[in-house]
Amino acid sequence: MEIGEIKKKYEKELLRKANVLGVMTGYKIKGEGKTGELSVVCLVEKKLPKEKLSKRDFVPETIKDIPTDVIEVGKIIALQADNKERMRPCPMGTSGGHYLITAGTNGELIKDKSTGKICIGTNNHVGANSNDAEIGDSFLQPGPYDGGKVPDDVIGQLLKFVPIKFVDSDSPSQCSLARFWSSLYNIPAGLLGGKTRLRPVVAYPEYNLVDGAIIEVKRENVLAEIVDIGVPKGVRQAQLDMLVQKSGRTTSHTVDGLVTGIDATIGPISYGTGKSAYFRDQIVISKKGFSAGGDSGSLILDMDGYAVGKLFAGSDADNITIANHIQNYLNLLDAELVTG
């Protein structure tokens, strides 16, 4: 069995272990250096000594003779909050956002295939207020946190977004079978005066592929150039050990991020206000300071200038960045990248 198949077969079991937030295939790390040995990598909020973990929460040293590795990343959060000034025409890699959020990043120009309209590409949680927006809502440049206001700083309107399948920690499962059995087993507890009740929860959440939205704009108000990078040359598939760059609202132009995962299953990712979501088939970029809050929506490019991913999350330990594969993002939005 190949390592990708093993990772896919055992990822749910690994994600159920305490502290595990993500599973991917990647090269095993020893000391401060990377080995050439492919392994099943578990991303954990915090590395804990074995005596503080129950036996069921140990990550085994091998799975089907494939080595494992554990990397501490902290909590993983959607990066919502420098390229913060108002600009007309506006290059990409700058501050922007739905009028009810803080601020994120205008990632790139893309063309909507069904209408031919030119749009700013960003994240759902930047351009569509995490599913809570209406098509046609105002999008500001700069974002509200950076002083953008309606109507003076409206640069476009929400045209389309891919809905995020959220797991709401405050809402019970809607499965009728689970609700029936939990209610049945709660009857004796109530009769005996117990104060504890069973509550059905979603054990296997629905996975997302992308966090994406596009904003219709007037062509004369935007530039295809990304600040400090230029116009994207095209699209490529992310590869392990690829070096990448991005230009974003908060940390501006960062380079030489190392792609350490291209098939990561990640979750829960916090979106605030009790919302979280799970994602599959994600890119993991390892470099401290590569991104920060407000960089969500940035386009990830290889060092030759070809787009490979769409940044949307990172860890509060500041050592990993999470991105959607660019082709998944474009396919689900039915759009194409504007290139030079």
Handedness of CA 267, 269, 270, 274 (dihedral sign): negative
The pLDDT score that the predictor gives to residue 185 is 59
Q: Distance between CA atoms of 124 and 101, rounded to whole angstroms?
A: 11
Residue 135 and residue 34 share a domain: no
Q: Which helix (H) or strand (E) holds 187?
A: helix 176-191
The pLDDT score that the predictor gives to residue 164 is 97
Residue 244 and residue 314 share a domain: yes
The pLDDT score that the predictor gives to residue 167 is 87
Running along the chain, 340 residues long, what does each successive block of 10 average in pLDDT? 86 88 88 78 86 84 89 79 83 97 96 97 97 97 96 97 83 59 65 64 79 97 96 97 96 95 93 90 95 95 97 89 98 95
Residue 281 and residue 213 share a domain: yes
The pLDDT score that the predictor gives to residue 205 is 78
The pLDDT score that the predictor gives to residue 28 is 86
Residue 99 and residue 19 share a domain: no
The pLDDT score that the predictor gives to residue 198 is 67
The pLDDT score that the predictor gives to residue 247 is 96
Residue 213 and residue 126 share a domain: yes
The pLDDT score that the predictor gives to residue 179 is 65
Domain membership of residue 187 as a residue range? 169-204
Residue 196 and residue 257 share a domain: no
Domain boundary residue, one of 153, 181, 204: 204
Domain boundary residue, one of 51, 72, 93: 72
**HEC string for 200-255:** CCCCCCCEECCCCEEEEECHHHEEEEECCCECCCEECCCCCCCEEEEEECCCEEEE
Strands 299-302, 306-315: pairing kind? antiparallel
The pLDDT score that the predictor gives to residue 195 is 59
The pLDDT score that the predictor gives to residue 88 is 95
